[in-house]
Structure 1
Amino acid sequence: MNLDDSLKNEYSVFKEILDKVDVGIMIIDSKGIIIYYNEVAGKIDGLKAADVIGKHVSEVYPQIQESTLLQVQKTKKPIIDQPQTYKTWHGKTVNILCSTFPLTYQKRIVGAVDISRDITQIKELSEQNVALKEELLKTHKIGRKKTSSGAPYTFDDIITNDPVLNHMKKIGRRISGSDSPVLIYGETGTGKELFAQSIHNHGYKKGPFIAQNCAALPGSLLESILFGTVKGSFTGSEDRQGLIELADEGTLFLDEINSIPLDLQAKLLRFLQEGTFRRVGDLRLRSVNVRVIACTNMEPEEAVKQKQLRSDLFYRLNAIYLELPPLRERKSDVPLLVDYFVSIFNQKLGLHITGVAANVLQILENYFWPGNVRELEHCIEHAMNVGLGQEITLSDLPSNILKSSAANPISLLDMLPDAQKNQTLNQCLDEVEKKLILRTLKNCQGNISRASEILGVPRQTLHYRLKVLGIPTHRAFQDQG
């Protein structure tokens, strides 16, 4: 194989790889002529490679004033995560996030490559979110009650008898009159936003409560959502307020702040320190009176160590720090919360459930609750949707809770038979198995399918073991063993 054949093979392999990636890729030569255009790029624009290859990039995208591909050839510097909005040949509006790099050979610019992701759906949803918050702000300003500001919860909605959480509530009430930023740490489902809303509603600020989840959004898009944009700051941008402006005289709640890119965290830090900011692409300095409450589901010190949270931003936010305990550390709250959620879902579902069975409450109190209060809420909602009786029974609980070893506090010592003369190990094990099966069947009201699911064996296997152990299926439900 000669050198030309080897190069052709390498190009063929390289091209096949680029055709398989899930981002749009376009390459131009030094004259701006498109020489490569993969399938994903075609799907974004509604075009085929044959439609664009060999044409100048300005001819294919006439609405873009200056393509980033041409810009990087002039500046010799890459452009990272640049949002762009444009219309395709077919009139379809497309929003992309692109990174563009100059291509060099022997220190000479020979072209450029553009790597783009279609963020049309994400951007539309984000803009709808901002628009809804703008409408909320309008209704708030025309004289509605404070709870219409986007924060329906108060400290009275935090159901607890736990001394640690009650202490956090006291601190929350005490700091509600301050403008200092607040950092709340708690596992998923512990009620961080509920706490933030309560602080807002207990305070003196009459402005709105604006919340934004910072996870799963590209940094440049999140920047424009938070700080706003001016027309011309990037292709397709418009004059638009950001959430910081919308939250003026109120509270901005930033969920999962450790998900914000570090460079954007620096811009947020400047805003916290100075109270001023610039919209994306703007020279004008703007000021607002906003309290920032941020939260994270990762321990802040660990987030700093993992370089997910800037240390200087952490120290600024840490002016007031609240740590919410997980539900497993306040088990005494489980009965209170169960009664509360039963009452809530009775109203929502039009039911008259009286409560939960004693053995159900025992399971709920012993469960680990990795999803905390939110998981308990969903557990009760599930049970009340599928249950048929006047109270919640074991068979109504979600299977993941029943399968959990923590949710099945059955002591093997309680099941061991009394020592009998000449009893073999197999006979002892059969006795333990029989007791376990009988107890599970009783808890499931004799439902063999449900019992087999909890025991983790096929239904046919359970039928077979019932037969081997001499347990009549019509008696299994009534017999405790």
Structure 2
Amino acid sequence: MVSKKLTEEKILEGLLDNLEEGVHIVDNSGRTLFYNKTMENIEGFTRDKVLGRMITEYLRDFTNEESTIMKVLGNGEKIVNVIQRYDNKDSKEITTINTTVPIKDGEEVVGAIEISKDFSQLKKLNETISRLYSSEYRNDGSDVFDDIYGISSGMTKAKEKARVASMSDASVLIYGETGTGKEIFSKSIHYGGNRRSKPFIPINCAAIPSALLEGILFGTEKGSFTGAEKKKGLFEAANHGTLLLDELNSMEPYLQSKLLRVIEDGYVMPLGSNKHIKVDVRIIATLNEKPEILISEGRLRKDLFYRLSVFTINIPPLRERKEDITVFIDKFIGYYNKILGKSIKGIDLWMLEKLKEYSWPGNVRELRNVVEFAMNMSNKDGLLTEKNFDSGILYRSSNKPSESTESEAESIVSRGFSLKKYLEEIEKQLVFKALEKNSYNIKKTCSELGISRQLLEYKIKKFNFIPKDYRA
């Protein structure tokens, strides 16, 4: 029995120590019973320094009144997503979002569990994101729209509409799958218009929790929440310029409502303030899912959609404009020739056809990664050939993506690919597509694929996906 108990404790400890969130468990007096490794990293204390001690005994200048743990122990009520800013062991300010829940024995509160997410980097983001994109962007007299590549009819129409939009101050809504180039369209619209000398500030709505996004957009007054300082929001920072709201569909509905009011009234009110600040900001918003689906599911307010979609630009996915693949490959080869000091002249025709057969779930971004890999694997000159590319791209290619499963199976067998290898490549493609669709949000991807977090993280390591914007 003792052995089983020890095993269960070790399993629980191992599980909690490998969470990305900090976990802090206290008894009914507030003394620490458990403190996982993530909390050690967040606050800078080792476990042995805090076990058996109260927060106020090891955190300087931190009172019981400020502690969410002590509040929950006092009233027995759960606290969700509260922002706290305080100094860690090294007197460096950290920002956490805490959810604190009471542990009860009947009606008696016998302890509390606090789960903390470290968002200290968002303070830097709030300070540096307002650093304006250089006003020298394409100031050499050339056409900023030359940065939008593509000769297909879909891209030509989208580019023409973007040119017209650049000559107006009206809001723009851009829809396109992940990796299609929504940000380059946004930049071109801004720098091709009469606001080109003013700020262009992008913000990825999916990368920041709603609890912080509101303050980042509209600003904060000192004391509006624990540790809050008076800070200018992005609307003020982008005054007379353009604010790009990337992945708007990730914004909570209540924030969408506030955003609509700001757009219509032309005023912002910082958190904790009753003062209205007049702003003149052009909005460009992007969606990575179809607006009609988002509206029907309640994830996009219909009134906000109509207010933003004065100009609506749809960027077609790469699979629907295969003629653009050659254009992009040429551009990427030229770019990586300079970066890598090579003189690759192009790609052989057989390999080019194979790339055109592929469905490109990651769109242009995926194509760029594929070409970059091939360029690194190539000699200094000559053509890119099959041997330079990841073999997976060949397995995933199909001459007729829309043909029946039976025909596709016959084609696979005729090419001599093993069933095990083919199924693995299909699985790899599905995981990659789901990750890209959900902007590498692990929780959302698990839900879509119907698998556990542990299994998904195993597959990420197995298939060597190393996204820059990996998020829990």
SS of structure 1 residue aligned to 2:344? coil
Shift of 1:76: 7.8
Contact 1:94 1:118 in 2 (8 A): no
Q: CA deviation at 1:366?
A: 1.9
Question: Partner letter of residue 154 of structure 1?
Answer: V
Q: Distance in 1 between matches of 2:59 and 2:110?
A: 17
Partner amino acid, structure 1, of 2:87: K
Give the drift of 1:71. 4.9
Q: Equivalent residue for 1:64?
A: 62
Distance 1:163-1:92 versus aligned 2 partners, 3 A rule: closer
Where does residue 117 of structure 1 map in the other structure?
Answer: 116
Structure-to-structure mapping, 1:125-274, within 5 angstroms: 126-136=122-132, 145=136, 147=138, 154-205=144-195, 206-274=197-265
Paired residues of 1:98 and 1:114 also in contact (CA < 8 A): no
Corresponding residue number in structure 1 for 2:441: none
Task: Return the match for 1:315 from 302, 306, 312.
Answer: 306
Range with bigger deviation, 127-136 or 299-308: 127-136
Structure 2 partner of 1:290: 281
- Give distance in 2, aligned partners of 1:275 and 1:34: 47
Match of 2:389 among 389, 397, 403: 397
- The TM-score normalised by the length of structure 2 is 0.72
- Residue in structure 2 matched with residue 38 of structure 1 by the alignment: 34
Shift of 1:167: 1.3
Q: Is the contact made by 2:25 and 2:33 (CA closer than 8 Å) also made in structure 1? A: yes
Distance 2:303 2:382 in 1: 55
How much has 1:153 moved relative to structure 2?
8.7
Aligned to 1:333: 324
| Aligned equivalent of 2:407 | none
Separation in 2 of the partners of 1:131 and 1:273? 27
1: CA distance between counterparts of 2:192 and 2:130? 23
Gap change, CA 1:15 and 1:341, over 3 Å in 2: closer
What are the Cα deviations for residues 221-270 of structure 1, in whole angstroms up to 9, with x where unaligned? 22232222222222222222222221111111111111223332222222
1:366-385 map, 5 Å: 366-385=357-376
Q: How much has 1:282 moved relative to structure 2?
A: 2.4
How many angstroms does 1:370 deviate by? 1.4
In structure 1, what is the Cα distance between the partners aligned to 2:257 and 2:74? 29
Change (3 A) 1:282 1:405: same
TM-score with structure 1 setting the length = 0.71
Corresponding residue of 2:355:
364
1:301 aligns with 2:324: no
- Determine the C-alpha separation between the residues in 1 that align with 2:144 and 2:387: 35
The aligned residue for residue 425 of structure 1 is none
Is the 1:96–1:116 Cα contact (8 Å) retained in structure 2? Answer: no
Q: Deviations over 1:5-57 (max 9, x none)?
A: xxxx99xx99996995444244564xxx31554222862442548846475x6
Asked if 2 retains the 8 angstrom alpha-carbon contact of 1:18 and 1:25, the reply is no
> Matched residues in 1 for 2:39 and 2:356: separation?
55
SS of the residue aligned with 1:38?
A: strand
1:38–1:49 CA contact under 8 A, matched in 2 = no
Q: CA deviation at 1:170?
A: 1.4
Distance 1:103 1:279, change over 3 A: farther
Structure 1 CA distance for aligned equivalents of residues 53 and 321 of structure 2 = 68
Gapped runs of 5+ residues in structure 1?
1-8, 412-428, 438-450, 458-481
Partner of 1:352: 343
The corresponding residue for 2:442 is none
Distance in 2 (CA, whole Å) between partners of 1:266 and 1:394 is 52
SS at 2:336 equivalent: helix
Deviation at 1:313, TM superposition (A): 2.6
Aligned to 2:448: none
- C-alpha offsets along residues 193-213 of structure 1, whole Å, 9 cap, x if unaligned? 111111111211131111111
Larger Rg: 1
Farther-moved stretch of structure 1 (13-22 vs 339-348): 13-22
- 1:169 to partner: Cα distance: 1.3
Structure-2 change in CA distance of 1:88 and 1:28 (3 Å): farther
CA distance in 1, matches of 2:9, 2:275: 46
Specify whether residues 90 and 455 from structure 1 end up closer, same or farther in structure 2 by C-alpha distance, changes over 3 A only.
closer
Identity of matched residues, %: 35
Q: How far off is 1:327 after superposition?
A: 1.2
Amino acid at match of 1:24: V
- The 1:408–1:352 alpha-carbon spacing in structure 2 relative to 1, beyond 3 Å, is farther
Q: Deviations over 1:271-302 (max 9, x none)?
A: 22222222222222222111111112111222
Does the C-alpha gap of structure 1 residues 51 and 339 become closer, same or farther in structure 2, counting only changes over 3 Å?
Answer: closer
2:245, 2:286 within 8 Å by CA — same for their partners in 1?
yes
Indicate whether 1:406 and 2:405 are aligned.
Answer: no
Q: Could you tell me whether the CA contact under 8 Å between 2:130 and 2:201 is conserved in 1?
A: no
**Alignment partner of 1:398: what SS?**
coil
| 1:399 positional shift | 2.1
Question: In structure 2, what is the Cα distance between the partners aligned to 1:266 and 1:171?
Answer: 28
Give yes or no for contact 2:374–2:384 (8 Å, CA) kept in 1. yes
